[in-house]
Amino acid sequence: MFLLGIPLVNGTVVLFVPSLMATVGGRDGWMAPLLAPLSIVMLVALLGPLIRRWPDQSFIQVAQSTLGRWVGGLLGAVFSVWAFHTNAIILRQFGDFIKGTVLIRTPILIVQLLILLAVIWVARAGLEVLARCAAVLVPIDALFLMTIVVLGIRESRFQNLLPVLEHGITPVLRAALIPSAWVSELVCLAFLWPRLNQPRQGPAVLVSASIWTSLNLAVGSLIGIATFGPTVAKVTFSLFAVARVVSIAEFLERIEPLLMIVWVSDNFIKISVFHYVATESLRQSLGLRERKPLVIPGAALMLVLAAASLDSTVEMADWLMHVWPLYSPLVTFGIPIIALCAGLWRMASRGSRA
């Protein structure tokens, strides 16, 4: 479960976000992710009681049982739409990256279709299989990332990080909004709580996963800034650029495929989790019995959304920087909180009646 959470955020973040953060936070951008887990801690603190009260129900089910089928279902549907939409964005980013760096002339649709095939397969095989895949992939990915970082250290100059906090803490805080929006995607894991072996460990898992990803992100952007200095804000995929720079003895160089593998596998898990969450929340809010029939139409919907939502990488970056940090937390925090409040209110009223 912990292992599911890591690629969930890592997937997109390590590649894309450092340069966004550097744009806002300058050379102190690497500190921003260290603050991001705070949002998760907050969320967990809020959700804690919810989990304890209904350990075997997702917050949508809780919302349905407390607010009634329709309102709860509506909330669930909003959450589901958010998950689908986010997933489409992820898919789009993924496609853009692959198309921009590896497969220039292959239609983006094919690129996305291939990974969707894997996603559909695993979605039909179930959550357990997905978790097992994550258990295999995460150590490999960690190893590859570590290789890149360690090799990258040779090329980096940590003086580039100086001066620290030149413009005070404010840019850092503003930059922290970006990764916390991503980290808040971990709320998907909260949705999976009821499926945990020991649901009570959920909060701990969530927090540790968020800390781990934040550290990851911090290290990733640290190395990016140390290598490229302020240029990092101008590089679209900074860790990818670091990987391209690495050269040991003129032979151990050109290691960027490692990063591509990490990126593909992380994204596979990420898209799969989101797909699971999206379809499962849809199932719950519609009150369907089976999830499987939703899998393939959901994937098709995502493919369409991914193609239709944004025109270019420029729009994407703009959207990710300005809209996303508000939109995403609104849903990821808002809905569980509404569910929670409703639950508590119902509990309180029932308590007073009794």
Partner 1 sequence: MVMNKDLHTLSMANEPWNGEPLDTVLQANLTRLREVFDACPDLIIREFLLPDGRRGGVLYVNGLIDVDRLDRDLLHPLVAAPPRPPQWEHGMPAPGLPLPGGQLLGRMGEVVQKILDGVVVLLLDGETAAQAFGIPGGKARNITEPVTERSLRGPKEGFVEDLQTNLSLLRRIIKTPRLKVEEGLAGRLTRTNIALVYIQGLVRPGVLDEVRSRLGRIQIDGVLDSGYLEEFIEDHPYSLFPQILDTQRPDVVAAHLLEGRFAILCAGSPNALLAPIQLWSFLQSVEDYYERYLISSLLRILRFSFAAVSVLLPALYVSVIAFHHELIPTALVMTVARAREGVPFPAVVEALLMEVAFEALREAGIRLPASIGPTVSIVGALIIGEAAVRAGIVSAPAVIIVSTTGIASFVIPRIGAVNAVRMLRFLMLLFAGAFGLYGITIMSLFVLIHLASMRSFGAPYLSPWTTLRLWEWLDLFIRAPRWIERRRITVAAAGGPLRQGPHLKPGRASDRDGNKQD
Partner 2 sequence: MALGRRRNWAVALVLTLVTLTGGCWDRLEINDVALIQTAAIDWLPGDRVRLGLEIAVPTAFPGGGVTGGPGRKPSFVVVAEAATLGEALNDLQQTIPRRLFWGHNQAVIVGEAAARSGISPHLSFFDRHREPRPRTLLCITPGEALPLLQTRLVLEPTVGQKLRELAPFSMVADAQFYRFDTRLNDEGIDPVAIRVEARKTLRPGGDDTEEAVEMTGLAAFQKDRLVGWLDRQETDGALWLTGQHRSVLKMIPLALPEAGTGRPARASVEVFRSQTSLKPSMESGRLVVTARISVEAQLMETMGPVDLTRPQVVRQLEYSLAKTIAESAWRALGRARAMQTDVFGLGQSVHRSLPGVWQRLKPRWREVLPTVPVRLELDVKIRRTGKANKPLEFPESEFRQMQDGKG
113 binds partner 2 (CB under 8 A): yes
Q: How far apart are CA 185 and CA 68, in angstroms?
A: 26
Amino acid letter for position 128: E
117 binds partner 1 (CB under 8 A): yes
117 binds partner 2 (CB under 8 A): yes
Q: Which does 166 bind (CB under 5 to 8 A by kind): partner 2, partner 1, none?
A: partner 2
Amino acid letter for position 280: E
Q: Which positions from 247 through 286 interact with partner 2, judged by CB under 8 A?
A: 247, 253-254
Position among 48, 69, 70, 103 found at the interface with partner 1 (CB under 8 A): 103
Alpha carbon separation from 348 to 48, 131, 228, 301 (Å, rounded): 17, 37, 56, 41
Q: Which does 160 bind (CB under 5 to 8 A by kind): partner 1, partner 2, none?
A: partner 2
Question: What track of x and - describes contact with partner 1 for positions 236 through 265 (by CB under 8 A)?
Answer: --------------xx-xx-xx--xx--xx
Position among 40, 62, 133, 303 found at the interface with partner 1 (CB under 8 A): 133
Shortest reach from residue 170's CB to partner 1, in Å: 41
Shortest reach from residue 248's CB to partner 1, in Å: 11
Shortest reach from residue 171's CB to partner 2, in Å: 14
Q: How far apart are CA 101 and CA 104, in angstroms?
A: 7
Is 35 or 137 the residue whose CB approaches partner 1 more closely? 137
Query: 220 and 34 in contact (C-beta within 8 Å)?
Result: no
Q: Is the peptide bond before 163 cis (omega within 30 degrees of 0)?
A: yes
Q: Which positions from 157 through 176 interact with partner 2, judged by CB under 8 A?
A: 159-160, 162-163, 166
**Left, alpha or beta for 248 (phi > 0: left; psi -120 to 50: alpha)?**
beta
Q: How far apart are CA 47 and CA 127, in angstroms?
A: 22
Shortest reach from residue 292's CB to partner 2, in Å: 11
Main-chain phi, psi angles of 167, to 5 degrees: -105, 30
Q: Which residue has the tokens 């570590």?
A: 146
Closest CA to 95 of 113, 122, 117, 118: 113
User: Which of the stretches 14-22, 29-37, 115-123, 298-306 binds partner 1 when contact is defined by CB under 8 A?
Assistant: 115-123
Alpha carbon separation from 248 to 147, 162, 237, 242 (Å, rounded): 12, 26, 22, 13
Shortest reach from residue 5's CB to partner 1, in Å: 14
Positions in the binding site for partner 2 (CB under 8 A): 100-107, 110, 113-114, 117, 159-160, 162-163, 166, 227-231, 234, 241, 244-245, 247, 253-254
